Structure 1
Amino acid sequence: MKKQVLPAAIAAVSLLGFSQASFALAPATTPDLEIFMSGATAQDKGIAALFENLCDAGTLDVFKDNNKAGSEGKDHTAFFCTLNSTNVPGLSVNGNPVASAKVLLHKRSQGGSAQGVNPLIDGVAIAAMRIDNGNCTQQGVTNTWFCNAQGANLTNQVSDAGVSDVEPKLFTGPNKPSNAGAVDPAAADAALDVVPAAALLFGVPVSDNLYVALQKAQGLLVADGGSCAVGAYTEACMPNLTKQQVAELISGQIKRWSEFKINGTALTALTAGMTYDSGDGVVRNVTPTDTKLHFCKRIDGSGTGAQMYAKFLNNPCSTAGLDPDWAGSNLAGPVKHEVSGSGDMELCLEDFADGENNAKTITSTNPDVFNNANNSALAKGWAIGMQSTENNARVDSDPKRKHYRFVKVDGVAPTLENAFRGKYMDWVEQTIQWRKAISQDKKTVIQKIATDASSPSILGTVLNPDFVHPFGPAGYLAIGNNHPFTENLNLSAPVMPYSHAVAGTLSNCQVPVIKSSTNTSKPM
């Protein structure tokens, strides 16, 4: 047994009457309640913080798969702590009210959002990580354990709950996972309780070398009469891609970056001889050795992919939407790299920034297997991807910063303020859902997580402080249909006044507007 070292954001809220005499739970401890959750990787940091916020201080242990060194927890995580009935009203075990309970929450991230939707509707068991098989090793005196999550260390379970970046009914067309059919709306309504949780900002990430190339092309750098240093990551220094340009790039219309021209000059020609430093002291060339367009894409069933296709390709929102599942060409370009989760997305973008080969792309489907080398030639190229703003909120001097950066879309940076003002378009309303058939014991804990996920104060004080980028605060906003707002954004309790649930139920295909109400304080 050992004392937990709380993350700073959680320690800040631990003064709410938590006992300081509690102890962490070893993997051999039998839980009173075991809950299986699966789905969106974009929200892994949020789910972790929300559950940690419910734990008695000093009782939490975190278990992460170490299937990929340096990317622990990208496929599976588990959280084990003591909850009490003050923090979780109605807490019960086997139907009996209890003052406290040892609760083990499994979170499967592999496969993305659809794994928190389709298997719940169909009652299909999917792999979750065991922690009780002698497969986990404590990391020093911390509360973190690394676990082998392969073979006998996996257990097939029907998930109790799921989290998705978009509503379940959007998992059709290019969003249908390989191991399930398109979501049947009637079946979803019959099997699931679904609640909108919060608005989450996404962005368009590009490899560091492409970021600098776009700065050069758009006249932002001092050498070209601008005011920005090479790679500067402030809002004023972020380069821009239009919505149409993003759609062109991710729908496979551009084979090589030499086709991407600025005032008649190829982008690759503008950067000849340029170098940059990503903050690690290594000087790299801006111009790629491989000029093919590389698109780091999440696999079908990803909510991160679903939101990008809805926002930029109008798919599956319209039968005329553009298709993100194009063949491409490894020789001529463009090249599509299909990866599993947000951690794999980071590896994919870094592979082309640094000339590495760490990400694994999909080899076969149903079940999805990832064995293909992403960049076996160790080429340096320009890559574009998809990612939530929960990720990579670090300055250049931070050795943990991944070598990619977000760009503006239509001249607007992905900040809470810009989304709040209706200027930034790449955000969606995420959902948490659970099977109606599970026990009330489990529902009580899951519903508490879902309620907190929509709380403006918890979003503002527990989650978002970890998502402040050099260009500004990002992350989550509560939903204005459920919470009051004024014409000014309150970062301590942020609320999104715009909604995708105005004409009927939630549909992230809708153009978000501020719902008609008696509220005259609208940030227009």
Structure 2
Amino acid sequence: MKKQILSAAIAAVSLLGFSQTSFALAPNTTPDLEIFMSGATAQDKAIAALFNNLCDAGTLDVFKDNNKAGSEGKDHTAYFCTLSSANVPGLSVNGSPVSSANVLFHKRSAGGSAQGVNPLIDNVAIAAMRIDNGNCAVSSGTTWFCNAQGANLSNQVSDAGISDVEPKMFVGPNKPSNAGAVDAAAADAALTVEAAAALLFGVPVSDNLYVALQKAQGLLAAPANCAAGAYTEACMPSLSKQQVAELVSGQIKKWSEFKINGTALTSLTAGMTYDSGDGVIRQVTPTDTKVHFCKRIDGSGTGAQMYAKFLNNPCSTAGLDPDWAGSALAGPVKHEVSGSGDMELCLEDFADGESNAKQVTTTNPDVFNTTVNSSGAKAWAIGMQSTENNATHAKHYRFIKVDGVAPTLENAFRGKYMDWVEQTYQWRNAISQDKKTIIQKIATDAGSPSILGTVLNPGFVHAFGPAGYLAVGTKHAFTENLNLSAPVMPYSHAVKGSLSNCQVPVIKASTNNNKPM
């Protein structure tokens, strides 16, 4: 069903300078329902695909903040379209069933996962992007860029949130600067939480470090004979879980401390060059040999999953701490950035000797206006990222193997790849049923094997293999073979009691004898 826009509304929009043919729903059209979601940036591409999948054909406009050129939408995005009861059963407005409704769906990504947890529990309003006051201009087609600063932000209590890990994990190093640690009883009272799907994460490194590791591990010589930067599974270099833990807990100051048969890693790459795929020849050996760790700000679910998997924090009181001081002069150096888009900028800055990324300057509220790589040095950097990012290698960083295993759906399905978690959607129990119906539909679709396999994952196929999401095996049937069209993860972090991504994932005891091993 296509929305018929009243001529009066069109006239009003024309007065604001908007094109009459560039939108499906005018930005200043009053929505029937307005929903606010905040939280994980790792799932932003999935949210976009899921909401688009629900919209009536030809009715969707997308609004992105343009606070950073080249990274539009990294902090705020809004989706405005017509939903029909055929796509959203039980659709209602003001408690009354309707056949269609104009729905404006806001997604705040700034601050990461914890912003989809703590503010919901505490009923605290946080900034969301307005689209209705003339602050947006058409970029192309039905995509708009919006100024999302100052008066163009409004404080709203989020109706729903999305996080890479369960809400109760936002304690310790995962507590955001603007909130306390999550109280488990308060979370249970305030929220409905639904585990949606298993999402694969990986260890990303700047392109120059990737090639250096290839050299160190003999992948550029016989018998592998890989080209510098080759991104097939066979040509991917690897770090052990222990080596990753050493780096992200601040134990290694400079890359010269990494030695291969007594030779420093930085010496092995002397004179080497590589091409990131853009035709520019770059030196592998860095001008700055300090270890640089691109880290997400406290409150990030991407950070939470890495600390749980590699540092055992907050899973154990003996877990290692990711919040170390370091040294800008001697190393290592930690760079705390906001979202997954900022992570890409940080890693690429060190690969290319650029100065685009911003790191945290002050906290509570978190302000990011300090340049990460102010000197424009070329260095080797390591970070954290979900595998739904950079599938085309448009940004100059690559994922590596962990313990010799690549971050593919097949490897995770077989129990060989360990860096994955079960993400959750949560919504406030106090919101209207009108909103709950739509949010529940998005959460259900986010865990549907067929939607994961046919709508989401096709966009997350890397040169080394398919990555992205698998449905959870505690809700859906699985066999001993992975079905990429409807992938289901047989392993679960919810075997003992409720979901806890601190648990070692295992296949739950059942009558299903078709277990992949």
Whether the TM-score (by the shorter chain) exceeds 0.5 is yes
**Counterpart code for 1:263:** N
CA distance in 2, matches of 1:329, 1:229: 35
CA distance in 1, matches of 2:139, 2:374: 32
Question: Which residue of 265, 290, 293 maps to 1:292?
Answer: 290
Within 5 Å, give how 1:3-14 maps onto structure 2: none
Alignment gaps of 5+ in structure 1: 4-22, 396-400
CA distance in 2, matches of 1:521, 1:443: 36
What SS is found at the alignment partner of 1:139? strand
Question: How many angstroms does 1:263 deviate by?
Answer: 1.6
Matched, 1:475 2:474: no
Give the match for residue 89 of structure 1: 89
CA distance in 1, matches of 2:28, 2:72: 21
Question: Which residue of 427, 433, 442 maps to 1:449?
Answer: 442
CA distance in 2, matches of 1:37, 1:67: 19
Question: How many angstroms does 1:502 deviate by?
Answer: 0.4
What is the CA deviation profile of residues 58-106 of structure 1, one whole-angstrom value per residue up to 9, with x for unaligned ones?
0000000000000000000000000000100000001110000000000
Give the match for residue 390 of structure 1: 388
Matched, 1:178 2:177: yes
What SS is found at the alignment partner of 1:258? helix
Give the match for residue 509 of structure 1: 502
Give the match for residue 10 of structure 2: none
Give the match for residue 423 of structure 1: 416
**Counterpart code for 2:148:** A
**Counterpart code for 1:27:** P
Question: How many angstroms does 1:139 deviate by?
Answer: 1.4
CA distance in 2, matches of 1:111, 1:508: 21
CA distance in 2, matches of 1:26, 1:279: 40
Give the match for residue 158 of structure 1: 157
What SS is found at the alignment partner of 2:361? strand
CA distance in 2, matches of 1:122, 1:521: 44
What is the CA deviation profile of residues 319-364 of structure 1, one whole-angstrom value per residue up to 9, with x for unaligned ones?
0000000000000000000000000000000000000000000000
Q: Is the 8 A contact 2:129 2:148 kept in 1?
A: yes
Give the match for residue 328 of structure 1: 326
What SS is found at the alignment partner of 1:233? coil
Give the match for residue 513 of structure 2: 520
Give the match for residue 20 of structure 2: none
Give the match for residue 204 of structure 1: 203
**Counterpart code for 2:156:** Q
What SS is found at the alignment partner of 1:78? strand
Matched, 1:30 2:30: yes
Question: How many angstroms does 1:390 deviate by?
Answer: 0.5
**Counterpart code for 1:264:** G
Give the match for residue 413 of structure 1: 406
Question: How many angstroms does 1:226 deviate by?
Answer: 3.0
CA distance in 2, matches of 1:382, 1:216: 14
CA distance in 2, matches of 1:325, 1:76: 27
CA distance in 2, matches of 1:215, 1:48: 35
Pairwise CA RMSD: 1.1
Give the match for residue 367 of structure 1: 365
Give the match for residue 18 of structure 2: none
Give the match for residue 279 of structure 1: 277
Paired residues in the alignment total: 498
CA distance in 1, matches of 2:259, 2:298: 31
What SS is found at the alignment partner of 2:326? coil
**Counterpart code for 2:262:** G
Give the match for residue 308 of structure 2: 310
**Counterpart code for 1:149:** A
What SS is found at the alignment partner of 1:358? coil
Give the match for residue 6 of structure 2: none
Q: Is the 8 A contact 2:205 2:347 kept in 1?
A: yes
Question: How many angstroms does 1:428 deviate by?
Answer: 0.0
Question: How many angstroms does 1:230 deviate by?
Answer: 0.8
Matched, 1:433 2:431: no
CA distance in 1, matches of 2:231, 2:447: 30
Give the TM-score taking structure 1 as reference length: 0.94
**Counterpart code for 1:236:** A
**Counterpart code for 1:518:** T
CA distance in 2, matches of 1:54, 1:262: 53
CA distance in 2, matches of 1:131, 1:346: 26
CA distance in 2, matches of 1:291, 1:204: 19
CA distance in 1, matches of 2:101, 2:251: 55
**Counterpart code for 2:375:** A
Give the match for residue 249 of structure 1: 247
What SS is found at the alignment partner of 1:325? coil
What is the CA deviation profile of residues 124-183 of structure 1, one whole-angstrom value per residue up to 9, with x for unaligned ones?
00000000010000113x110000000000000000000000000000000000000000
Question: How many angstroms does 1:511 deviate by?
Answer: 0.2
What is the CA deviation profile of residues 475-516 of structure 1, one whole-angstrom value per residue up to 9, with x for unaligned ones?
000000000000000000000000000011000000000000
What SS is found at the alignment partner of 1:236? helix
Give the match for residue 16 of structure 2: none
CA distance in 2, matches of 1:214, 1:262: 10
Matched, 1:484 2:477: yes
**Counterpart code for 1:105:** F
Give the match for residue 142 of structure 2: 143
**Counterpart code for 1:355:** G
Alignment gaps of 5+ in structure 2: 4-22
Q: Is the 8 A contact 2:291 2:332 kept in 1?
A: yes
What SS is found at the alignment partner of 1:269? helix
- Runs of 4 or more consecutive aligned structure 1 residues displaced over 4 Å after TM superposition: none
CA distance in 1, matches of 2:114, 2:258: 34
**Counterpart code for 2:502:** C
CA distance in 2, matches of 1:167, 1:184: 13
What is the CA deviation profile of residues 391-425 of structure 1, one whole-angstrom value per residue up to 9, with x for unaligned ones?
00015xxxxx0000000000000000000000000
What is the CA deviation profile of residues 280-335 of structure 1, one whole-angstrom value per residue up to 9, with x for unaligned ones?
01100000000000000000000000000000000000000000000000000000
CA distance in 2, matches of 1:290, 1:466: 35
**Counterpart code for 1:60:** L
Question: How many angstroms does 1:225 deviate by?
Answer: 5.0
Matched, 1:117 2:110: no
What SS is found at the alignment partner of 1:64? strand
Give the match for residue 126 of structure 1: 126
CA distance in 2, matches of 1:260, 1:358: 28
CA distance in 2, matches of 1:305, 1:118: 16
CA distance in 2, matches of 1:394, 1:116: 28
What is the CA deviation profile of residues 421-465 of structure 1, one whole-angstrom value per residue up to 9, with x for unaligned ones?
000000000000000000000000000000101100000000000
Give the match for residue 191 of structure 1: 190
What SS is found at the alignment partner of 1:369? coil
**Counterpart code for 2:172:** G
Give the match for residue 8 of structure 2: none
Matched, 1:346 2:344: yes
Give the TM-score taking structure 2 as reference length: 0.95
Question: How many angstroms does 1:26 deviate by?
Answer: 1.5
